[in-house]
A and B are shown apart, each in its own frame.
Chain A
Amino acid sequence: MSEKVNFTIDGKTLTGEKGRFIVDVAAEQGVYIPTLCHMKGEKPAGSCRICTVKVNGRAMAACTTPLEANMVIENNTPELAELRKVIVELLFVEGNHFCPSCEKSGNCELQAMGYRYQMMVPRFNYNFPYREVDASTPKIYLDRNRCIFCKKCVRAIKDPQGKNIFAFRNRGAHLEINMDLTLAAKMSDEQAKAAMDICPVGAILKKEIGFNVPIGQRKYDKVPIGSEIEKLSK
């Protein structure tokens, strides 16, 4: 019963199903809109804003905005690229991102955004906040220095009874990611891997596998993030 509607992205006319999120419809047709907190098929969080596009001239999050007929969407414009770069830079200075010593390096979505938007240096001063690392559970580390508060782990990783293993604590500048130590201790290897994979950065890492892929063979060493989607339209 899906209704197909026409819309344009950067002047190109496309057709998609009305009511679905712009970001998903675009991706299926080879138009990459960057995301950090989006999980296809899950209720959107809309927290990172990297997916900001202009819809009929207004800035909107592509992961929370349902498609409607005749939308005129701007995506790949210098203005939006600059805005996304600013978000990336803010995320870098807000936490502690020492890429050279990070096990996620090369496979990290935040870092890959830095590459895609050619961040040579953030325009903001580094915060250097003090954040605790929790390595007390057998399968995973939780390194709060690198968390970008995308909430993916909270939304997607549950124990067999459906209880959250991860949760946020506090608010504003004190917001931090936490885990239920009892539930986290019971995580299987598969679930630990799933948690690591869903985290876009190196805040959740599975123990004892660090740096197992050589430099040059990691996900974003040779190709920019999003090229797997852009390939579809080539």
Chain B
Amino acid sequence: MSKPIVATTSLAGCFGCHMSILDIDDRILKLIELVEFNKSPVDDIKTFTKQCDIGIIEGGCCNSENVHVLKDFRKNCKILISLGECAIMGGLPALRNGIPVKECIEEAYLHGPTVDGVNTEKVLPNDDELPMILDRVYPCHEIVKIDYFLPGCPPRADLIWNAVAALVTGNEMELPYEVIKFD
């Protein structure tokens, strides 16, 4: 039987969730026996080369590129998992939700303490190459259907391991008290 294929990505996240994937320690050896990785920062495959079984999403959607990547994952993966607070509810990037984008951008490029008086020409990033910032940060499940949710900032390595193991083996997932955390 061929191994299940896993893809991962980080949208508006800090890569902490991916660090937590690595935090499964020596079980990582078991993991590469159990699954094959496709598009993922883990193996640096940049585009999908085949249909995947499990897509793991870190981060929510703060710009048009995030939305594009997320939809691409939905198209190419049978099961999608929102990994971590940012994917689930926007996380810290969503602290800007409720504040108009214009105000956020002006704070970041014109008035903030690190740019105040420096950006004298008042340049705001506006290159065609740059993805558009969305009006707010969106949880992934508000953009596409998400099948499973693993909370935490970052999610505990055991939670990730238990989830992947359950999906791969078809057994029910173990959920001891210590693995569900929102921070």
Contact = CB atoms under 8 A, between A and B. Distances in A.
Contacts of B91: 98, 100
Interface size class of A (residues with CB under 8 A): 20 to 34
Contacts of B90: 126, 128
Interface residues of B, number: 28
A190 B120 CA distance: 48
A115 B92 contact: no
Given A106-B183, A223-B177, A96 B98 contact: yes
A215 interface: yes
A100 B182 contact: yes
Interface in A213-228: 215, 221-224
A98 B92 CA distance: 7
B136 interface: yes
Contacts, number: 69
B180 A125 contact: no
Interface string B110-129: 00000000000000000000
Contact of A98 (B94, B99, B149): B94
A34 interface: no
Interface string A130-144: 110000000000000
A128 B97 contact: yes
A59 interface: no
Nearest to B90: A126
A222 B178 contact: yes
25 contacts: A96-B97, A98-B85, A98-B91, A99-B182, A99-B183, A100-B92, A100-B183, A101-B95, A102-B183, A105-B182, A105-B183, A114-B182, A115-B177, A115-B180, A115-B182, A120-B151, A121-B82, A121-B88, A121-B151, A126-B90, A126-B94, A128-B98, A221-B181, A222-B177, A224-B177
Interface of A: 96-102, 105-106, 111, 114-115, 118-122, 125-126, 128-131, 215, 221-224
Interface of B: 82, 85, 88-92, 94-95, 97-99, 136, 139, 141-142, 148-151, 153, 175, 177-178, 180-183
